[in-house]
Amino acid sequence: MSTVRVRFAPSPTGFFHIGSARTALFNWLYARHTGGTFVLRVEDTDKERNTEESLQCLKDGMKWLGLDWDEGPEKGGDFGPYFQSERDPIYQEALETLRAKDRVYEKEGATWFKISGDPQVIEDQVRGTVSRTEEKDFVIFRSDGSPVFHFVNVVDDIKMGITHVIRGEDHLSNTSKHTELFKAFDAPIPVFAHIPLILKQEGQGKMSKRDKGALLEDYEKEGFFPAAIRNYLCLLGWSPKDDREIIPFDEIIQLFDFKGINKDNARFDEKKMTFFNTEYLRMLPLDEVVSKSKPILSEAGLINDSTDEAYLKNVLEICQEKLRSLPTLPEFVDYFFKEDFAFNEKAKTKIFKKGEPLERLKEVLNLLKNLSLFEKENIQKSITELAETNEQGIGSYFQILRFAISGTSGGPHIDALIETLGQEKTVKRIKTFLENQ
């Protein structure tokens, strides 16, 4: 077992921000890459804002992303308690240690830390050499007796044997205070890696909780795959430097290191994230697509207990590669399960703008109703021959045909669509369509 100990130290204040999720992920990856230990420490000293609910939201989010922690809430461990609100005696003892070294004094009711004033130089794994000098003593216990973030953060990192601190770049400016404290305790200074911020999609600045895509819980609600989000988040600030994007997670664990973390801030890109999700949907084994689709389709009233399982499987098999996301499934496949599907007016206008689509449809109806081998290769072949004989483009048949039987201009491959729908339904739909024109 490696000696690496990293921690994710959130202050749960009501939601799980994508930036925090990414910090958790990078810590988790580093622990798994090195065979070290991943600690979850809850920095809940702000009693007003840290609720049970927000902690739950955080734990749920981590579990959803597959970021299991080795020590912390629910798990325990040798370095607990893992809630700062339960560590008061430890902070008091640490305060006494500093007092004995003559590094604290009281002023205006608060307890102050005496800085050394020496330049604080760190070799940050992302930023390189960073030097900063503290110029003023700072408060470590407020006048109401509550300890300040810098103090508890450092005391816990020492007591929990944290070897690497991986956190957002917004904490870089705190680091000189922290190293002052580490030195005052004569404790080893951990390795620091300050990871770039996540910028909002448009405009300037860091993503805030009001920006779309900022809250992890929304992804779950919107039907994203955790594996896709995890893969996408890895690339917000890290890359394997070989232009690959969709990478199996085991490989990311193997490849992940500080060298791959970018200095530049990363910009959130919803389109790209959706693209990742679609890619993951494509890679999903068909059985999983089926089991995940069933509740969605029955909720939408498209299937029920008497729906033919083989037919359903067949529909999903031919649609999987064209589908954008699971929540969009009902609108994508509804015409497979009902006869009163809608016709897209825009698509219709486009198809009827040129040629004689109704003539083509009559010809293809004639062909399909008499076709003895109703399977896709033969369907494709016969329509191609029909087009050649009549000296018409093949597209002029397929477009109107697809529209007549599905009401849209997109969807699975036309030959697979016709085969799956079957001869009876296909012919009936074309006839009904022609009657209604």
Residue with tokens 């600045």: 205
- Report the nearest approach of ligand GLU to the CB of residue 41 (Å): 8
Q: Based on the number of CB atoms within 10 Å of its own CB, is 421 exposed (0-12), middle (13-18) or buried (19 or more)?
A: buried
Instruction: For residue 11, state whether it binds ligand GLU (rule: CB under 6 A).
Output: yes
Residue with tokens 């200095």: 263
CB-nearer residue toward ligand GLU: 11 or 344 = 11
Instruction: For residue 22, state whether it binds ligand GLU (rule: CB under 6 A).
Output: no
- On whether the CB atoms of residues 13 and 222 are closer than 8 A, the answer is no
Closest among 126, 224, 216, 225 to 168, alpha carbons compared = 126
CB-nearer residue toward ligand GLU: 179 or 420 = 179
Contact set for ligand GLU, span 166-195 (CB under 6 A): 167, 171
Q: Which two tokens stand for residue 164?
A: 């690497």
Query: Which stretches of 114-203 are DSSP H helices?
Result: 149-159, 175-184
Instruction: For residue 344, state whether it binds ligand GLU (rule: CB under 6 A).
Output: no
Site string for ligand GLU, 145-164 (x = CB under 6 A): --------x-----------
Q: Please work out the total of residues on this chain that contact ligand GLU, with binding judged by CB under 6 A.
A: 8
Active-site residue 381, yes or no? no
* One of 5, 6, 10, 198 touching ligand GLU (CB under 6 A): 10
Question: Residues near 29 by Cβ (< 8 Å), separated by ≥ 6?
Answer: 234, 252, 253, 256
CB-nearer residue toward ligand GLU: 9 or 405 = 9
Q: Which two tokens stand for residue 360?
A: 């083509």
* One of 15, 37, 38, 43 touching ligand GLU (CB under 6 A): 43
Q: What are phi and psi of 193, to 5 degrees?
A: -140, 105
Q: Which two tokens stand for residue 23?
A: 């910090």
Residue with tokens 């405009």: 203
Q: Which of 209, 259, 263, 350 is catalytic?
A: 209
CB-nearer residue toward ligand GLU: 11 or 262 = 11
Residue 398: its H or E element: helix 394-406
- Report the nearest approach of ligand GLU to the CB of residue 44 (Å): 9
Q: Please choose, out of 9-17, 319-327, 371-379, 413-421, the segment that lies near ligand GLU by the rule CB under 6 A.
A: 9-17
CB-nearer residue toward ligand GLU: 6 or 404 = 6
Q: How far apart are CA 139 and CA 181, in angstroms?
A: 12
CB-nearer residue toward ligand GLU: 87 or 167 = 167
Residue with tokens 């003892």: 93
Q: Please choose, out of 8-16, 197-205, 250-258, 295-303, the segment that lies near ligand GLU by the rule CB under 6 A.
A: 8-16
Name the residues that contact ligand GLU, by CB under 6 A: 9-11, 43, 153, 165, 167, 171
